[in-house]
Amino acid sequence: MDRLEDLASSLETLAFHGFQTPTVGNGEKESPAIEILRIKEQMSNQCFEMTVKLQSGESKRSCSASDAEKDLPDYVNTLEEAKITHFNKTLALHRMQVWHVISEKLKQRDPEAEAMRKLTNHSLDLCLKIKTLQQESFELQDQITALQKQRLDLKRLTHEKMKEMEELKTKGEHPVAEEYRNVLQKAQSYLEKYQKMVAIEQNVLRGIIIASKVNWREDPKLREIAMTLEDITISDD
């Protein structure tokens, strides 16, 4: 019974102290309960230190440079987003505070407030003007864009028409081409043959004139010949 009483009283003391180990003088002998508490505290401290060490060890991951580069845009984006959010919140708070003070001031009746009210009215008038001008410029811009669309459309149509014209030109003019086709082809081949001959002759003649180192300009007949050496219709005009 006595021992139970002792235990109960020591537990009571402990509870009173909030389960912390009371500081004991060096000479005093500790009761076993207090010893156990002390050991518990030590162990919990050690466990805490170990957890901390483990956690710091976890963050040391090995990663290669290319892995880091891949993650970099994401981190940059996160950073930017955080910056923007911070800026916006700061802006909102700042504006809220400043304008609260301003509106309080504007409500009063002293000369400073009077001056501020005049300024406010003036800026509101300007805003009205700005609004009308902006409306005008918005409508004008719409008109300009519509006009540009129309012009570009016209340009496209013009090009299409020109292409059609080219196709019509190359198609030829004879509706009754079937009958004349053979004749035309023969004529064409003769023409080409003679054109080639003429070209060769022209080249030869030009070569002779150049090689002879004569001034072809002086003699009128030679000049006439020389000036026509380039004339040949290869493409049908």
Partner 1 sequence: MGNDVLERNLVLVERMGLTRGLPPEVISTMLDYAMSLRMGGAPCVRVLKFLIPATVVPQEAIVRAVAWLCVGKIAISTQVLFLKWVLTFFDMIDSKDHLRSIYGFIFNFVTEEHLCPYICHLLYLLTRKECVRPFRVRKLLDLQAKLGRQPFLLHLLSLYKVFCPELVTTALPSKLRGGFKNHVTPWKGVLNAIQKRNTGQVTSDIRLTIGVKDGSNSRKRKCNHLQLPSLNSAVQRNLSSTNSRKVFPLEQLHSFPELLDNLHRIELPSQMGSLLGSSLALCYLDYVQDDSAFLRLNFWLGHALHEEFLFCSREGGSGCSSETLHFLNRLISTQNFLQEGFFSTESFLYKFLNVWDGSLLRPQILGLLSHIPVVPSSCIHQLLFEPLMQLFFSSTLFFKCSVIECLNDMLLKWLTWHSVYSVEDGLDISLNSHTPMNMTLSGFMDSVMELVLFVGRLATVGLQLEGCSSLLLSFVLDFYETVCDMFLKFELPLVVMPPVGVFYPALFATDPVSVDRLCFIMCRYKQNLTAAKFQQQEAKHVFHISSQTYREFNRYQLLMVSTLWNSRLFQPGMAVEVDHNLLALSKVPEPSASFTLIRHPAFVGYALDFHLKCWPERKDMDLKSVKAGKHWEWYLEFLFSHGYLGLQQFVQSNINWHPGSGTKSQGQGDGQPTNG
Give min distance, CB of 141 to partner 1, in A: 8
Q: Using the rule CB under 8 A, is 214 a contact of partner 1?
A: yes
| Tokens (6 digits) for 167 | 């196709």
Give min distance, CB of 70 to partner 1, in A: 18
Which residues from 102-131 bind partner 1, rule CB under 8 A? 102-103, 106-107, 109, 117, 120-121, 123-124, 127-128, 130-131
Which residues from 86-105 bind partner 1, rule CB under 8 A? 87-89, 91-93, 95-100, 102-103
Residues 6+ apart with CB under 8 A from 177: 184
* Beta carbon nearer to partner 1, 38 or 216: 216
CA distance 171 to 161: 15
Q: Using the rule CB under 8 A, is 213 a contact of partner 1?
A: yes
Give min distance, CB of 106 to partner 1, in A: 6
When binding is defined by CB under 8 A, the residue of 40, 53, 156, 193 that contacts partner 1 is 156
Which residues here bind partner 1, judged by CB under 8 A? 84-85, 87-89, 91-93, 95-100, 102-103, 106-107, 109, 117, 120-121, 123-124, 127-128, 130-132, 134-135, 138, 145, 148-149, 151-153, 155-156, 158-159, 162, 199, 202-203, 206, 209-210, 213-218, 226-235, 237
